[in-house]
Amino acid sequence: MRRALLLLIAACGLAGCKSTPPPVPLEQLNAQQTQGHAVFQTHCAVCHYDRQSGSLHGPALIGVFKKPALPSGAPANEDRVTDTVLHGHGLMPALGNTMDPQDLSDLLAYLHTL
> Least distance in Å: CB of 31 to ligand HEC?
19
Show the CA angle centred on residue 99, arms to residues 98 and 105, nearest 5°: 160
Q: Does 114 bind ligand HEC (CB under 6 A)?
A: no
HSE-up (13 A, CA, CB side) for residue 73 = 0
Q: Does 37 bind ligand HEC (CB under 6 A)?
A: no
Q: In whole angstroms, what is the distance from residue 81 CA to residue 70 CA? A: 9
Q: In whole angstroms, what is the distance from residue 12 CA to residue 38 CA? A: 31
Q: Please list the residues that pair with 89 across neighbouring strands.
A: 92
What x/- string results for residues 52 through 71 when contact with ligand HEC is judged by CB under 6 A? -----xxx-x--x-----xx
Q: Does 93 bind ligand HEC (CB under 6 A)?
A: yes
Chain residues in the site for ligand HEC (CB under 6 A): 43-44, 46-48, 57-59, 61, 64, 70-72, 74, 81, 84-85, 89-93, 95, 107
